[in-house]
Chains A and B, each alone.
Chain A
Amino acid sequence: MLAFNFFGATEGGLFDINATLPLMAIQVVALTYILNSLFFKPVGNVVEKREKFVSNNIIEAKNKLSEVKKLEADLLTQLQSARTEAQRIVSEAENESDKLYKEALELANNEANASKEKARLEIESQTSAARDQLSKQADDLSKLIVNRLILEK
């Protein structure tokens, strides 16, 4: 019967515990050692070696990255100083050229003024000379007219 087969049974049954138990335990312990040398150790070595390799590479890459960032910052400051220097030079040159231009302009103005003044004085002297001559001629003419009039009478 089923119930008999399930439980009771001096011979057989589901809960028939015998030497299978210790032998199975020994077998599992042996399997542990076999699997350890065949599976866990070799695979662990490979995996851990690779993990170390990867983490070393990551650390190295991080170091390189920080170095690159440092260099980048360095270059940036250099670039900035170069830029300000260039600006300074440009503005200096502008100032210089401005000064030169102003000086040249002033010189030219002065020269122009001087020659203008000279021309004016010359014109003035010529004018007065011409006027003197004119008034002298007018005097002569008037004397001549007066003489003629007196002589006719």
Chain B
Amino acid sequence: MFINSLLTNFAALEVGQHLYWQIGNIRLHGQVFLTSWILLGALLVFISLGTKKMENDPKGLQNLLEFLWDYIRDLARTQIGEKVYRDWMPFIGTLFLFVFVSNWGGALIPWRLIKLPSGELGAPTADINTTIALALLVSLSYFYAGLSNKGWRYFEYYVHPTPIMLPFKILEDFTKPLSLSFRLFGNILADELVVGVLVFLVPLILPIPVMFLGLFTSAIQALIFATLAAYYIGEAVEEHH
């Protein structure tokens, strides 16, 4: 019976429960949109404050934003290549910022203090819809990048070293979004669950190192997601000789 009560208490973490919004025929996970709007609003405010008065000698927030910009440019340039990285830098940067802000916002802000009628607020990236949306956008992007840069020659990529690769390359088009979405979803959800369970079991001190680990994982996941997206786009626009 102890296990049973433990399980119901786990359920008190409200895993897999959502705040449903019904708009006509469609149903939405309200908590995902609520947190994402709050976090993206904060991000946009932060960015508008930093870019309000751009100067040639950067100060304060502008410095930080320039560092961020430089970081994203390096990421895009190393993965996509000198020729087309400019076109894709905003997309890669948005992915990075969105995932990073979502992960850290989910981990740092004590959402649990806000009570919802159903479900609970948390990282938007801990919802499978968000991660699949991001991963599908990445898939569309690399197809678009390949086709717009190389036309039909893009499909040479599928038979590139030898035609034997064809089935594997086709399979890759499915495994890429799958692994992208599930990696992010799994990591962030697992982090939230571990912290939740630990807080529930030992409310003092013990969860703190795990929380720090969670912050680390969150940052790494954002970097991994952006890097892989850039790498896939780079792979699609790469010229084979």
A interface, CB within 8 angstroms of B: 1-2, 5-6, 9, 12-25, 27-29, 31-32, 34-36, 38-40, 42-44, 46-47, 49-50, 53
The answer to whether A43 and B69 touch across the interface, beta carbons within 8 angstroms, is yes
Q: Which positions 19-76 of chain B face chain A at CB distance < 8 Å?
A: 26-29, 32-33, 36, 40, 44, 47-48, 51, 54-56, 58, 62, 65-66, 69-70, 72-73
B residues within 8 A CB of A16?
A: 16, 18, 29, 128-129
Provide the residues of chain A in CB contact with B65, threshold 8 Å: 39, 43
Query: What is the chain A residue whose CB lies nearest that of B93?
Result: A40
Q: A31 CA to B40 CA in the complex, in Å?
A: 8
Residues of B within 8 A of A25 (CB): 133-134, 136-137
B32 CB → nearest A CB, Å: 6
Quick check: B69 and A40 within 8 Å, CB to CB? yes
Q: Determine whether the beta carbon of B27 is less than 8 Å from that of A12.
A: no
B91 at the interface (CB under 8 A from A): yes
Q: Inside 8 A of A6's CB, which chain B residues have their CB?
A: 15-16
Contact between A24 and B69, CB atoms less than 8 A apart: no
The yes or no answer to B132 lying at the interface (CB within 8 A) is: yes
Is chain A's interface secondary structure helix, strand, loop, or mixed overall? helix
Which B residues are CB-close (under 8 A) to A18?
A: 26-29, 129
Q: How far is the CB of B85 from chain A (nearest CB, A)?
A: 12
Q: List 24 A-B contacts (CB under 8 A).
A: A2-B7, A6-B15, A6-B16, A12-B17, A13-B16, A16-B16, A16-B29, A17-B128, A20-B33, A21-B133, A24-B33, A24-B124, A25-B133, A28-B133, A29-B137, A31-B40, A32-B94, A38-B44, A38-B51, A39-B65, A43-B65, A43-B69, A46-B54, A46-B66
Q: How many A-B residue pairs have CB under 8 A?
A: 127
> How far apart are B236's CB and chain A's nearest CB, in angstroms?
18
Q: Taking chain B's interface residues, is the majority helix, strand, or loop, or is none over half, making it mixed? A: helix
B129 touches which of A24, A32, A49, A50 (Cβ 8 Å): A24
With A and B bound together, what is the CA distance between A65 and B33 in angstroms?
Answer: 59
Chain A residue, CB-CB nearest to B10:
A2
Q: Does B130 contact A (CB under 8 A)?
A: yes
**Least distance between A20 CB and chain B CB atoms (Å):** 4
Identify the interface centre among A13, A27, A38, A49: most chain B CB within 10 Å of its CB.
A27
B90 in the interface, Cβ–Cβ < 8 Å? yes
Residues in B whose Cβ lies below 8 Å from that of A19: 26-28
Contact (Cβ within 8 A) B47 A2 = no
Instruction: Give the CA-CA distance A136 to B212 in the complex, in Å.
Output: 147
In the bound complex, how far is the Cα of B99 from the Cα of A28, in angstroms? 10
Distance of A44 Cα from B124 Cα, bound (Å): 28
By the criterion CB–CB under 8 Å, are B51 and A21 in contact?
no
**Minimum Cβ distance to chain A for residue B31 (Å):** 10
Q: Which residues of A contact B94 (CB under 8 A)?
A: 28, 31-32, 35-36
